[in-house]
Structure 1
Amino acid sequence: MQAVVLAAGEGTRLRPLTEDKPKGMVEVDGKPILTHCFEQLNDLGVDELLVVVGYRKEAIISHYGDEFRGIPVTYEQQREQNGLAHALLTVEKHIDDDFMLMLGDNIFEANLADVVNRHEEERADAAFLVEEVPWDEASRYGVCDTNKYGEITDVVEKPDDPPSNLVMTGFYTFTPAIIPACHLVQPSNRGEYEISEAIDLLIQSGRTIDAIRMNGWRIDVGYPADRDEAERRLQEGKLNEPECEKTVTAEGSD
């Protein structure tokens, strides 16, 4: 699959960390957030990175160039911050098959491969990772409404009165069917073209949508405290890694 990484954000809430760099270049545990994203997508076997840039785009382009660990990187600019559906349409001409979509301001230590595997096994038009968050935080995200069977029936972006505390996490897989859905999206109350509305259009049209519960953790790096928490967790994870067993090779006798 190709992978689209959305990294056009200015990161005003992350200031002063973003005064001289885009949000994706803020370092967490010694490397930019985007490097964490690219490494995970590399582990998932992507064959091309389509990176949507905007604010201080030169910092991203000059840092990564035209490839990352042998994976070709293509850049497109989102000139105005008009939402995730709008950002996705900036790379429309490059999308020729199923693809992954990752928000370039999230740090994941989670079961991303489960989303890709479900997409491929079920041939879903969309699959995405979801998690339960505290109710008072749900309005920060795209919120999933469910029926009594736990099936997702609706998604709504940053609602004032969330219908649930089950939210999208920023990692998705799509078929190209999401592209015409994005074209149909109308500006939200926030004046943005929301990816959640495009997904909702797929749901309402009867398309197959799968939501996979997150196993692990992720942090949306929106504030300096989020960056610090992500770094703490990554470092804690390193400390808890089991030591590799040493292999002793005995020399054979002649």
Structure 2
Amino acid sequence: MKTVILANGEGTRLRPLTYDQPKSLISLDGRPLITHIFERLKAQHLEDIIVTVGIKGQQIIETLGNGEAFGVHLHYAISEDDPAKLPQTAGEIVKAAPSLENEPFLVIYGDTLSMTRYHDMLCIHQEKQAAITMPGIRGVPLGTSYIESEQDGRITVWEEKPTLPILANIPEFICSPDILKHPLMGYGHDFSSEVIPAYVTLQRVFIYEQLDNYHCDIGTLDRLEQAERHMRKGTLGPGIVIK
């Protein structure tokens, strides 16, 4: 199974770190963020990787090369280094299509860390004959206080930033090759907000729930700091959700 890592974004929420480097190369625990994804994939014998690049893409290619230094085999799907001409995420995936084969492939958003067991998820995908299969994790932290009140405005319940017992998606997806032919899989379309709902309507999207998973979304400076703190303490593991 080949992997597509989506890494062509601007990383605006990580500025000033991304003024002079792409998001995938920002330092996490002393090395580029994307290499942590490589490490997880290599450990599961998923060494064939296509990285989609756009903004500061040449810097990514020059830094990572063919992947030999990281024990993986890298190919690149290259878009223009121009925010006005960047494809949306569905377009990024289609850009990688020439390097894919007629078999299920894995898509990972480039600011996502987890400990998903991808081969187990692939088994679910094949068993269900799914179009898209994604990992889910329970226990999502609410970034603000939760309250309940009476009609007169009297507060009866107050919880400071509780963890909600809901099932949330980790942005990693095993996709069947036939999705590449869907009319929404194109330059100006978003994979999460357009393509996935279309397949949910067709009842072809399934969840893979792994109880010992974690989700670390390195999308903002605050989340990057949280991830660094967990890594220093050795506590980035089962049950941790940073998003």
What interval of TM-score do these two structures reach, taking the shorter chain for normalisation?
0.7 to 0.9
Q: Is the 8 A contact 1:51 1:75 kept in 2?
A: yes
Q: Is the 8 A contact 1:14 1:223 kept in 2?
A: yes
Alpha-carbon distance in structure 2 between the residues aligned to 1:185 and 1:67: 28
How far does residue 28 in structure 1 lie from its aligned partner after superposition? Answer: 0.8
Look up the SS of the partner of 2:190 in the other structure.
coil
Point out the more displaced range, 164-173 or 5-14.
Answer: 164-173
Give the structure 2 partner of residue 108 of structure 1.
114
Residue number among 131, 134, 147 corresponding to 1:128 in the alignment: 134
Point out the more displaced range, 73-82 or 43-52.
Answer: 73-82
Once the two structures are superposed, the pairs formed by residues 3-42 of structure 1 within 5 Å of their partners are 3-42=3-42
Give the structure 2 partner of residue 84 of structure 1.
89
Give the structure 1 partner of residue 57 of structure 2.
57
Alpha-carbon distance in structure 2 between the residues aligned to 1:178 and 1:198: 9
Alpha-carbon distance in structure 2 between the residues aligned to 1:234 and 1:166: 24
Give CA deviations for 1:104-156 in whole Å, capped at 9, x if unaligned.
Answer: 1112244445323322444432210123424669xxxxxxxxxxxxxxxxxxx
Alignment RMSD, CA only?
Answer: 2.8
Give the structure 1 partner of residue 177 of structure 2.
176
Task: Return the letter of the residue paired with 1:235.
Answer: R
How far does residue 53 in structure 1 lie from its aligned partner after superposition? Answer: 0.5
Tell me the number of residue pairs that the alignment of Structure 1 and Structure 2 aligns: 209
Aligned CA distance change for structure 1 residues 204 and 10 (closer, same or farther; 3 Å): same
Unaligned runs of 5+ in 2: 145-164, 238-243
TM-score if structure 1 supplies the norm length?
0.72
Q: Is the 8 A contact 1:129 1:169 kept in 2?
A: yes
Task: Return the letter of the residue paired with 1:200.
Answer: P
Alpha-carbon distance in structure 2 between the residues aligned to 1:203 and 1:11: 29
How far does residue 70 in structure 1 lie from its aligned partner after superposition? Answer: 4.5
Aligned CA distance change for structure 1 residues 229 and 122 (closer, same or farther; 3 Å): same
Aligned CA distance change for structure 1 residues 216 and 175 (closer, same or farther; 3 Å): same
Give CA deviations for 1:2-21 in whole Å, capped at 9, x if unaligned.
Answer: 10000111111101111110
How far does residue 46 in structure 1 lie from its aligned partner after superposition? Answer: 1.7
Task: Return the letter of the residue paired with 1:67.
Answer: G
Aligned CA distance change for structure 1 residues 66 and 118 (closer, same or farther; 3 Å): same
How far does residue 172 in structure 1 lie from its aligned partner after superposition? Answer: 1.0
Give the structure 1 partner of residue 197 of structure 2.
200
Pair 1:226 & 2:223 matched: yes
Q: What fraction of aligned residue pairs are identical, expressed as a percent?
A: 28
TM-score if structure 2 supplies the norm length?
0.75
How far does residue 238 in structure 1 lie from its aligned partner after superposition? Answer: 6.8
Task: Return the letter of the residue paired with 1:222.
Answer: G
Look up the SS of the partner of 1:177 in the other structure.
helix
Alpha-carbon distance in structure 2 between the residues aligned to 1:107 and 1:85: 20
Q: Is the 8 A contact 2:42 2:71 kept in 1?
A: no
Unaligned runs of 5+ in 1: 138-163, 241-254
Task: Return the letter of the residue paired with 1:73.
Answer: L
Aligned CA distance change for structure 1 residues 30 and 216 (closer, same or farther; 3 Å): same
